[in-house]
Structure 1
Amino acid sequence: MVRAAGIASVVALLVAGTHARADDVPDAKLKQSVEGPQRTPAAAARDNFRHPYEVLHFFGLRDDQTVVEIWPGGSGYWTEILAPYLRDKGHYYAAVGETVGASEETLKSNAAFAAKLAATPGLYDRVTTTEFGADRHEIAPAATADLVVTFRNVHNWMAQHEDEAAFRTFFRALKPGGTLGVEEHRGRTDQPQDPEAKSGYVRQDWTIALAERVGFEFAGSSEVNANPKDTKDYSAGVWTLPPVFRLGAVDRAKYEAIGESDRFVLKFRKPVQ
């Protein structure tokens, strides 16, 4: 369900937005997309923890780019922003979970995402859906993407022992000089990294080293999603915190006061040569 304003007004707002910018110049069109009436209330309610405008602006997003999002999820939090923003001048690829051998959870997520796109063709008719499985699928034609983005997924690939393969897949899809944007729950530096990231937390330095092993160059970090109240020592891992609240009513007020996890936001470049 979208907010009250009609889809036509959303598209009109986005078409009126700006195009070229330097990294330090505000992007009015992106702000309009983040604040637009197409955003579902549940998604917009998390913006104070996820800071979508600041994160995408940091990644260098432009409306004429080819952008690939890895695992958009059933709700399509970032799709609601990226698809209309890129609709007229760019190209948005949504790389959903692979279907062969998929879990019931993945199949449900993919179905929910497909239903979301079909329900609002005025916004989502130009979205290209591909599949992501580390080193098993083409998320976009090789060397065509300007930007690949992934949000809080690295721990999943570590659990599957496919983290390096995943980053190789991103590297192939990007143009020389293209950007990889990564957000993840930030692990503690006073503890060794669990190679399977069972708690959901991943050290920032570990992720940088992973990307560099594949061939990426580290291009910067943002603290926009930092949360110093996150102690990262919960019995149920990061999922103890909102929005999951895995412990249910147990100490819920405590975890609500902490808020969502402490997260790093990293930017990498694929070398030009």
Structure 2
Amino acid sequence: MRRFMLALSTCLGLIAAPVTADAAEDGAEVVSCNGCEALLELAAATPARKDDRARDVYRHPVETLKFMGVAPDMKVGEYAPGGGWYSRMLAPYLAEEGHLTGLYFNPDVVPFDGSKLAESAAAFPGKVVEWTGVDPDSVSGMTLKDIPDAEKGSYDRIVLFRMLHNMMNWNIADSEIKAMRTLLKDDGLLGVVQHRAKADAPFSYTNGSKGYLRQADVVRLMELNGFELVASSEINANAKDPANWEGGVWTLPPQFALKEQDKAKYAAIGESDRMTLLFRKRD
């Protein structure tokens, strides 16, 4: 970890004004973290990720975080960090000049016993430190219940990876997105990666219960909750995925819900087709 931090400090000294806005061909304003790719590559190569890297071919973390304009000096919220796959990359990347916060569900709105969510949020920094060895002061955790005034309007970025389907299925998407909006600065951005259904897929397949959502529905949901689309990317697209599995997205790796049944077939397809979207908090 110390060797990584020394390399990170050197790279930070070579980067000036890393986040810029460029005009895309379609006229959309695209935010990119110019010069951050080397730092992201360093973070992706840390020993803490030795078991995570096998999935980089599907999840493209370097390209995804660069697209979302996540710079190393930012305050970043990771919604529903789960097992820490992205946390183990974000924590060392942000440790020198930025800050990572694990954002957990509001325990009052989830359709399950949320009594231990506050404990999970409190334990998040310790887990990250154990995984990565970063300074404990560079990591925090909180639920989206009773957001402290000091946290409101203080985040540069929030990232939401493959969780919107659960939020939709549990009927908590509106309240959780609004809470995240409260956390963001006036010019803050929220990045979304989500399993993507076909544009003409029926509601019964795109209500969250199968893991897939229609991209147009996601954009509309975010617009209704105070965001505007800045840019979209095909970084995490997978044309091999027909997105019509009877058992939902969990048919594919890494879950392999059908166990050994046709496992080679699903392994050859890989992980799901995914939309990658970037939204700005609007007035």
| Distance of 1:183 and 1:52 partners within structure 2 | 11
Q: What is the aligned partner in structure 1 of residue 267 from structure 2?
A: 256
Equivalences for 1:34-113 in 2 at 5 Å?
Answer: 34-39=44-49, 41-74=50-83, 76-97=84-105, 102=113
- The one of 210, 219, 231 aligned to 1:208: 219
**1:170-220: per-residue Cα shift (whole Å, max 9, x none)?**
111111111010010001112233463111000100000001011211101
Q: What is the aligned partner in structure 1 of residue 127 from structure 2?
A: 116
Q: Contact (CA 8 Å) 1:16, 1:29: kept in 2 or not?
A: no
Q: Contact (CA 8 Å) 1:193, 1:206: kept in 2 or not?
A: no
Residues 1:164 and 2:174 aligned together:
yes
Query: Secondary structure at 1:248's aligned position in 2?
Result: coil
Residues 1:8 and 2:17 aligned together:
no
Q: Aligned pair count?
A: 261
One-letter amino acid matched to 2:86: W
One-letter amino acid matched to 2:58: F
Deviation at 1:84, TM superposition (A): 1.2
User: What are the ranges of 5 or more consecutive residues in structure 1 without an aligned counterpart?
Assistant: 1-6
| Distance of 2:51 and 2:79 partners within structure 1 | 21
| Distance of 1:121 and 1:80 partners within structure 2 | 6
Q: Contact (CA 8 Å) 1:143, 1:173: kept in 2 or not?
A: yes
Q: Contact (CA 8 Å) 2:88, 2:131: kept in 1 or not?
A: no
Q: What is the aligned partner in structure 1 of residue 251 from structure 2?
A: 240
Q: What is the aligned partner in structure 2 of residue 128 from structure 1?
A: 140
Q: Contact (CA 8 Å) 1:73, 1:110: kept in 2 or not?
A: no
Deviation at 1:165, TM superposition (A): 1.3
Q: What is the aligned partner in structure 2 of residue 197 from structure 1?
A: 208
Residues 1:29 and 2:39 aligned together:
yes
RMSD over aligned CA atoms reads: 2.6
One-letter amino acid matched to 1:81: M
Percent same amino acid among aligned pairs? 37
Moved more, 111-120 or 261-270: 111-120
Q: Contact (CA 8 Å) 2:91, 2:128: kept in 1 or not?
A: no
Would the alpha carbon gap of residues 120 and 185 (structure 1) be closer, same or farther in structure 2, given more than 3 Å must change? closer
| Distance of 2:263 and 2:279 partners within structure 1 | 36
Q: Contact (CA 8 Å) 1:148, 1:180: kept in 2 or not?
A: yes
Query: Normalization by structure 2: what TM-score?
Result: 0.84
One-letter amino acid matched to 2:182: R
One-letter amino acid matched to 2:262: D
One-letter amino acid matched to 1:130: M
Would the alpha carbon gap of residues 84 and 186 (structure 1) be closer, same or farther in structure 2, given more than 3 Å must change? same
**1:47-77: per-residue Cα shift (whole Å, max 9, x none)?**
0100001100000111111110001112x11
One-letter amino acid matched to 2:69: G
| Distance of 1:109 and 1:250 partners within structure 2 | 35
One-letter amino acid matched to 1:219: V
